[in-house]
Amino acid sequence: MAQITFREAISRALREAMQDERVFIMGQDIGSYGGAYAVTKGFLAEYGPERIRETPIAESVISGAGAGAAIAGLRPIVELMTINFSFLAMDQIINHAAKVRYMSGGQLTCPLIVRTVTGGGASVGATHSQSLEGWFASVPGLRVAVPSTPYDALGLFRSSLQQEDPVIFVEHALLYSSRGEVPDEPYVVPFGKADIKRIGTDVTIVAYARMAMVAMRAAEELESRGISAEVVDLQTLSPLDGDTVAASVQKTNHAVVVEETWYTGGFGATVVGLIQERVFDYLNAPVARVAGVEVPMPYSRHLEQASIPDESRIIQAVESTLGR
């Protein structure tokens, strides 16, 4: 299998989507600039301005127009430059796109895909470094995809194109240059199915997006210390695959849940609740959580790195859970 970057996987997914004449892409700087992360480089020349639509800096307008187009029968892909800017489009996404199918009794659907970028680590300050995907996952009617590898990104986007409900497709800013094997043969990664990225016997580490990759590196170090860690990558937050998580914890009897966003109100609490409800009797220790430090993301590189979970914090949590 060929190795490609996460960025190339998303570009390939978008080109596949554009084979459907109902699909168009709309967002800021996606045309002549090629996208803030170079994902749509060359698309304007290839597909023209009717299908690669440059927009003003107006997220409410972008998302509202996308929702309206989806309800009217098109398959729009909206790009919000970062998930932080989605605050300006909450009404359009949450009160309209997410609810129109239910409120119309199924007469209307909204197959809108909102591509957006999450996460810190790029030293772009507090208002550009938040991880808000868990907020969207709490809204009935929205599907939330959080890929961690090029393989997952391409497969989950293909699944997104099959949905009749709006999808928040979340791409971590620091994953774009990461590489991974992707087959040439068609495949999809289904929604609502977590992936066991690494098999282990002593502890289950549950994570998603970039934190799944950080957890993988932590698991490698833990192995050198005689600890076998199983890494479960959630892949989608909505729908959430509780079965895979519960089965893994039932086997290992210990769990550590990792996410980049703040501890208070984080999606990790939902995962912990699921584990407590479904496999409490199998736990040999309380479920541990590793999350971001509860401060606005610092601009300073050193302070920023101290705010984001890393391998050492995961290892510390695992060893504490195991009583090492």
Q: What amino acid positions are annotated as catalytic residues?
A: 59, 128
- In this structure, what token pair is assigned to residue 256? 């550590």
Helix, strand, coil shares of the chain, percent, nearest 5, are 40, 20, 40
Among 292, 252, 13, 275, CA closest to 145: 13
Q: Are 5 and 176 in contact (CB under 8 A)?
A: yes
Distance of alpha carbon 307 from alpha carbon 62, whole angstroms? 32
Which token pair is 156?
A: 């989950």
Half-sphere exposure of residue 74: CA atoms within 13 angstroms, side-chain side: 16
Tally of helices (H runs) and strands (E runs) in the chain: 12, 14
Contacts of 22 (CB under 8 A, 6+ apart): 73, 74, 75
Whether omega before 298 lies within 30 degrees of 0, making that bond cis, reads no
Per DSSP, the three-state class of 279 is helix
The Cα 94–Cα 115 span in angstroms is 15
H-state helical runs in the chain: 6-17, 43-47, 59-71, 90, 100-103, 133-137, 150-160, 210-224, 242-252, 268-279, 301-307, 311-321
